[in-house]
Structure 1
């Protein structure tokens, strides 16, 4: 399709700075973060793999999700919040696929989560089935099979866009079944499922014109008083980084940021001591 993008390598915080490479938000207000160039996230490449790329045993109890390690974040398009995952605004509790079936309605978005894995999203289409992007193909599966042993939850309210009618959401999902590889217009299961529900082109590969400005901000909560702010040119790139943080988990993400800020402290910058102090 005409909006396909070539794979690009993921770079570190220090390699693609924007206005200010420090990216910490305090109670005094936000500071500019950084932007990224990504490889193709597509959790079909990461399904069944740990964060370090090693294969996981699908029968291991380690897949049980630990809510205490969940990353809370929000996405802003300029000044408008378009996505929020927070204990203050959404029910983040997870359940077994069998229990979730009692609450699912056609058109619902379902997220499957597990320690060290990218979150996997699907569209519930009724009759215990979901449509989802999995291993570079849009497939129809039973919800219990699509979970692959992971915990799950309904995530209709994470994105703040107005949803399409449930029958339209189901139709969007069903009409894409069988698409694969170069026919696909989405880089991961979350973008596909969200596009089905909201119908917005921003979720598609190349769905937004890049003109040098960075209108999207990803705010990652680090503590009650501190957050990390990053800026991106497209919603697609913002989602890619958000998902990477979800895969890392809160503890590993904070360790990565701490390592970055320690490197910043070694550079000649008048604000560096404040960041060093923050890390202690």
Structure 2
């Protein structure tokens, strides 16, 4: 998509926003999340110039409680600055299964955390933060879907390994039977 098309898309999303809406900023393999508080402002858990990951040594990207992630902070920023060149989506998709708090309470919760420092990719990321504000639940569908994918992939690999092992055993038994005759 061209930058004009992205801008047009984001403007359409922006005009439909209400205070307390969750925003998902698509950034390739992951999404950044923020909470719309009105007047072109969002509150989100972010690093100085990014989503909380900062200039992290890639070897620490999956650290469970690495000190390198502590530079992220809950902050208030301009919607357009956070959006940059990324596609933005209003994403209150969990409203169908969880009860949303009233907009004024959502914003109050978010504002109460301004300046809080800390980030954890698995347990306390930007998505956990905004869902806590809106639903009083720290959840991350991204983390859960990656974890499920890893678990399913591991289970499939284990089954394939067992089937291959059993298959090799039956071949050995077939060879033994043929050599006996």
TM bucket normalised to smaller: 0.5 to 0.7
Q: Deviations 1:183-238 (Å, cap 9, x if unpaired)?
A: xxx611111001001123xx1xxxxxxxxxxxxxxxxxxxxxxxxxxxxxxx56x7
The answer to whether the aligner puts 1:128 opposite 2:40 as a matched pair is yes
Structure (1 or 2) with the greater helix fraction: 2
- For structure 1, the residue ranges without an aligned partner over 5 or more in a row are 1-59, 66-94, 204-234, 246-252, 273-280
Corresponding residue number in structure 2 for 1:250: none
The ranges of structure 1 where at least 4 consecutive aligned residues each deviate by more than 4 angstroms after the TM superposition are 268-272
Q: Deviations 1:117-152 (Å, cap 9, x if unpaired)?
A: x21111100001100011211011111111232111
Larger Rg: 2
Query: TM-score scaled by structure 1?
Result: 0.41
Corresponding residue number in structure 1 for 2:98: 161
Corresponding residue number in structure 2 for 1:240: 143
Query: TM-score scaled by structure 2?
Result: 0.61
- For structure 2, the residue ranges without an aligned partner over 5 or more in a row are 47-51, 53-71, 168-181
The whole-number CA distance in structure 2 between the counterparts of 1:121 and 1:167 is 19
Corresponding residue number in structure 1 for 2:160: 265
Report the number of matched residues: 134
The whole-number CA distance in structure 1 between the counterparts of 2:164 and 2:102 is 52
Question: Per the alignment, in what secondary structure is the counterpart of residue 98 of structure 1?
Answer: helix
Note the C-alpha offset of 1:158. 2.6
CA RMSD of aligned residues (A): 3.6
The answer to whether the aligner puts 1:175 opposite 2:112 as a matched pair is yes
Note the C-alpha offset of 1:162. 0.6
Matches within 5 A, 1:128-147: 128-134=40-46, 135=52, 136-147=72-83
